[in-house]
Amino acid sequence: MDSPADNAPPEPALEPHDPPVNLPLNEQHPTEGGDDSVDTTVTAAPQMPDLSSALNGSAYQPASPEHPRPSTSYSDTGFNRPYSSDHNSGPTGYHNFSTPSDADTPPRYQNNGARPSSRPSSGMAYTHSDGGSRTYQEQNQRGSQQQMGDKQNTSVVIKVGMVGDAQIGKTSLMVKYVEGSWDEDYIQTLGVNFMEKTISIRNTEITFSIWDLGGQREFVNMLPLVCNDAVAILFMFDLTRKSTLNSIKEWYRQGRGFNKTAIPFLVGTKYDHFVNFPREEQEEISNQAKRFAKAMKASLIFSSTSHSINVQKIFKIVLSKAFDLRCTIPEIENVGEPLLLYQSVG
């Protein structure tokens, strides 16, 4: 049941790259933000409504880009204790990237301890200011923008799952995004952690419902709780431990078994440590991550929770892909920089 790092097949020969770009962390990436223009198209996304009319435009422009209003809560489906060992982390087996057929899909996990959900199967819920909930239907908006704002405000809930081996920084990234804080003391996730954050875009409130699965093998049976109904799944690995990247193949296979329509993301953590690796090691891991992302048809993002690198951008790209909106974040593809590739996915 251990991570299949030692059994991984040999990697193909690496291709040469341009010379590294010297990017001091504190100067190039002290915080996140900035506006750029990139069109993004989703081809593997679930069938979801077009909210461009509700958002009054096709560009994703949050009212407060880096400090939206949070709404935070931990669920009681998981408990925390000091970290002891991650030797038993990760799913089992070693597989090529593939999406299981319907016949291979395990039955949906029933967790009696989990709180009930009335969200649609797409992982989204829509609530209007009149107090009622209904499935969103695209309508031709008529009248002025002010009249539309006076009539109703729309709320949308987007479920995001986070999976990967133990001690890779899943919970830290979630807490950093929701609360803006970071604690270097590692707290092991036992079961599932759950947090929410709400941002406002004009007349629409969008709540990210983030589900974080503990990476130990005994919690793999809770994978359906995290993946079912998710709009996006973040398959996460530690850039400083190649074994956690090798485990992504099995995490992807099992996650896709419960949700074939979620938008996949491949997220590397701890970039602030990875950037100090020798150039050759950075090239090897970066190229392997690119190959995995291509096979998964997933966006590839390198992040650092402690240095606030690409944390906010992950969820901005999730939002843009979920609703096929224009994304204003530039891609980064050079080895030696925090990779951010999402434009040509799928």
Residue 191 confidence (pLDDT): 72
Residue 317 confidence (pLDDT): 97
Position 114, amino acid: A
Q: Is residue 56 part of a domain?
A: no
Distance CA 194, CA 76 (A): 8
Q: Which residue reads 């020969």 in tokens?
A: 13
Q: What is the pTM of this model?
A: 0.62
Residue-level pLDDT, tens digit, the chain, 346 residues: 455 445 555 554 444 444 444 444 443 444 454 444 334 333 344 444 444 444 443 334 444 444 444 433 333 333 333 333 343 455 544 445 554 444 343 333 333 334 433 333 345 544 444 444 333 333 344 444 555 444 567 899 999 999 999 889 999 999 999 998 766 665 656 678 889 999 998 889 999 999 998 856 666 788 899 999 999 999 999 999 999 999 999 999 999 999 999 999 999 999 999 999 999 999 999 999 999 999 999 999 999 999 999 999 999 999 999 999 889 899 999 989 999 999 877 5
Distance CA 161, CA 175 (A): 14
Q: Is residue 105 part of a domain?
A: no
| Measured CA distances, 105 to 224, 265, 271 (Å) | 11, 21, 34
Q: Is residue 300 part of a domain?
A: yes
Distance CA 210, CA 161 (A): 6
Q: From 319, 312, 31, 320, select the one nearest 176 (Cα to Cα).
A: 312
Q: Which residues pair with 340 in a beta bridge?
A: 301, 332
Looking at the structure of the chain, the number of domains it has is 1
Rounded (10°) angle between helices 279-296 and 248-258? 20
Q: Is residue 232 part of a domain?
A: yes
Q: Is residue 87 part of a domain?
A: no
- What CATH number should be reported for the domain holding residue 284? 3.40.50.300
Distance CA 162, CA 234 (A): 5
Segments forming the whole domain that contains residue 252: 154-341
- In this structure, what token pair is assigned to residue 38? 């990139």
Q: Is residue 182 part of a domain?
A: yes
Residue 183 confidence (pLDDT): 66
Residue 50 confidence (pLDDT): 46
Residue 252 confidence (pLDDT): 96
Residue 316 confidence (pLDDT): 96
| Measured CA distances, 269 to 39, 132, 223, 234 (Å) | 26, 40, 21, 11
Residue 168 confidence (pLDDT): 93
Distance CA 66, CA 247 (A): 32
Radius of gyration of the chain (CA): 20
CA atoms within 13 A on the CB side of 240: 14
Q: Is residue 252 part of a domain?
A: yes
240 neighbors 270 (Cβ within 8 angstroms): yes
Residue 344 confidence (pLDDT): 77
